[in-house]
Amino acid sequence: MAPQTPQDPRLVIAAAALCVYAIFKRYEPSKPLPALLLLVGVPSALTKMLRSHFASALGAAGATFAMYWALLVVFVLAYRVSPVHPLARYPGPLACKLSKLWLMYLTGSSGKTYVYIDRLHQVYGDVVRIGPNELSIRHKDACSAVLGSKGLPRGPYYDPREHDAGVSLDGIRDLALHAVRRRPWTRSMNSASMKYYEDLIRNTVADLVSGLKERADRPLDLTEWMGYYGLDFMGRMAFTYDYNMLKEGRDTQGLHEMIEKSVLDLRWISHIPWSIPYLKLLPGASKNWDDMKASGTKVAHHRASMASSRPDLFHHLMDEEGREPVKPQLEVVAVDGALAIIAGADTVATTLTHFWAFMLRHPECFARLRKEVDAVCAQGGDIDFFAQAGMPYLNACLNETLRLLPPVLAGLQRRVERGTGGKMVGPYFVPEETQVSLVAYAVQRDPAAFSPLPRTFWPDRWLAQEHYTLPSGDIVSADEVHTRREAFMAFSQGQMVCAGRNVALAEMRAAVCALVLQFDVEVAEEGVLRSWEDEVQECFVSKLGRLPVKLALRA
């Protein structure tokens, strides 16, 4: 006896779509094979079963697939905006509640997602729903709760950092595994290595000053030269490899362009990490990132062939002292080293470029800084890293630069894992399986954490004083100035705080002091300063515009 088919095939299709939606919601299959079975295999089977209800096979397939996929989309979107969704109580734009594709579009088209989220906080308050399962929080207690010692593991935003040999340090989401992989990074910052890095900073600063002296009295792009400085130092620090950009006055290997292309891909993929397995199936889809990995592998093999005992980063990552139970793979070290070059060089270069843009905008701050530098740093003398670390106004200017324009503009995403029961972030309850993003650009401009003038470059807020003089000339007491250092997250915080923070600060202080001592700096195009922040884009790190200046040797 032939099997009976239902009178209304729409009921069968709707029931199947509802079951598949439940599977996706519960298990979130992201690998291509199971996803294709659910998205294509199921409607194909339904087409065959319901063939008798349609005039032709093509009509059966078209109607079945269209209804099945449409219902899946309706079920997904209806749940995301429904009052039963765990994040229904939190406000946010409808487009963000429906899909992360909206933020992906904004990031890929303009690179201004950080500005968009900051504006959302100004409209909705301290917590905003920026994705179907994601919140952005800027509350004054959020940093300690999310990033602190008892904070949350990283979210899926970091999944694109995976590679064939494993996962780079920046992409490890498990806190215990991250602690193990971080050990060699921590050892790389010991006193012996720091002494070695200081010598490298001295040499790189000397190359920077020499290159700029050769080009004094004619326009040059300070954005480019800060990039050369960052990359030259990180090449030497990570792999004892010299890119020779400062000596040549150009990027001889096209490294900056390579880095920019690779991170431009990351900036939108990170919003939809489920797409990664599918992109890997497309020929050439990962070319830019593969080129970057190949560059890291090249310098790693170069360093490995040296058999050097120098305490550079490679020395510790490869465990040349034999402290780890398992010998690291060269391929993993190559990717981690490439990450160090991107993250270390680009963040330093970005901060220094922003710093000079602020100094040119605020000549009164530059004059005050020069007075301090002249008093502490002897003209033509050796770099005194200890003395520079204790220069109040220099460090205040660097902190204020990092506060207003942090080099990493994307949100530091964390996740409340399944089975934890949820997490309190300040006064807000965050349910399980929810991503939490702290966007430094928004957090560090929050009036509750930094006031007065939370959006103004005012380095004095970082100084301990009884009374403060505002840029307007008004005098306020210390009680009226709020600088919550626990909300300062330019280097992240907690277990995943930037391992190279102290090196980066020493590198930046040394470069600033050298240029302040040696040169008078004048902007070559006034319009650049007015539109400076408009040119900044988020792309995992930051993409900057030109900063044309003229340098003149000081008398």
φ and ψ at residue 245, rounded to 5 degrees: -75, -40
**Under a CB-based contact definition with an 8 Å cutoff, are residues 133 and 480 in contact?**
no
Contact 218, 524 (CB under 8 A): no
Residue 475's CB is within 10 A of a number of other CB atoms, namely 10
- Is the separation of the CB atoms in 145 and 427 below 8 Å? no
Using CA atoms, how far apart are residues 217 and 206, in angstroms rounded to an integer? 19
Q: What distance in Å separates the CA atoms of residue 511 and residue 503, rounded to the nearest whole number?
A: 12
Which positions ≥6 away from 541 have C-beta within 8 Å? 263, 342, 343, 346, 347, 350, 407, 408
The answer to whether the beta carbons of residues 152 and 423 sit under 8 Å apart is yes
- Say if CB 117 and CB 439 are below 8 A apart: yes
Question: Both tokens of residue 307?
Answer: 């058999």
Consult the annotation and say whether 539 binds a ligand.
no
First to last CA, the chain: 104
Alpha-carbon distance of 450 to 533, in angstroms, equals 20
- Composition of the chain by helix, strand, coil, percent to 5: 55, 10, 30
Known binding residues for heme: 498
Residues making up the annotated binding site are 498
